[in-house]
Amino acid sequence: MARPAKTFDHAAELAFIDAANPHQWLLTAVNLHEQAVALWRNRGRSQLTQTAKDGTRTTWDDTNRATFLLAAFAMENMLKAFLVYGHPAYIAGGRIQGITTHDLVKLSELSPLVPYAARDRWVFEALAEGSTSWARYPCGRDADDVRPEGQFTARLWVKYCDMMVAYTSKMRKLLSKGWTGPCGHYGSWTFHD
């Protein structure tokens, strides 16, 4: 049986809009990215090696899984910053609507504000594959969904970092111009480096 949809009074809606404005998504994205960078810098200190029956060895860095997950969540928050900026209705009515997925490809396709989304689709695909399976959980939902842990390659890392820098810069420029959200909520942010 479906639950009835919650309703919120005006004060609660305004508080939610303030918590879900694009600046808050940006801050969360930047914080998660900084934590991914800290883990990336610690790679090589501990490695895991699996040896198969035939003697084949697979080795990966112990920070790989957490770095992947943090980077994917950072990118998800960044994409949602663009989405909420361009479509404030996604956070109207005291709830997030229409962007509750973790599918980075889908999220990137929803906003024309995301720079070079088509060109960088491979990054979204790589991060999403990890964040919806092996980086988040030890197994898939069933036997058809078991995937080996992917490697956060140097090529993927460099591209992801370049994207985060570009996206942060663009979002800061947009927020400096101001943002009007649901219920007439308005904000303009000034950034100091």
**For residue 175, is it within any domain?**
yes
Domain count, the chain: 1
User: Which range of residues forms the domain containing residue 99?
Assistant: 10-185
**CB of 163 closer than 8 Å to CB of 100:** no
Residue 144 has pLDDT above 80, yes or no: no
**For residue 143, is it within any domain?**
yes
- Nearest C-alpha neighbor of 170 from the set 162, 159, 180: 162
| pLDDT for position 8 | 87
**For residue 120, is it within any domain?**
yes
| pLDDT for position 72 | 95
**For residue 5, is it within any domain?**
no
**For residue 45, is it within any domain?**
yes
Summarised one tens digit per residue, pLDDT across range 131-141 is 777 666 776 66
Q: Using alpha carbons only, how large is the chain's radius of gyration in Å?
A: 19
| pLDDT for position 147 | 72
**For residue 1, is it within any domain?**
no
80: number of Cβ within 10 Å:
26
Summarised one tens digit per residue, pLDDT across range 6-47 is 888 989 999 999 999 999 999 999 999 999 999 999 888 888
**For residue 159, is it within any domain?**
yes
Write down the pTM of the prediction: 0.89
| pLDDT for position 1 | 64
Q: What is the CATH number of the domain that holds 17?
A: 1.20.120.330
CA 92 to chain CA centroid, Å, is 21
**For residue 190, is it within any domain?**
no
Summarised one tens digit per residue, pLDDT across range 2-14 is 777 788 898 999 9
Q: How confident is the model at residue 167 (pLDDT cuts 50, 70, 90)?
A: very high
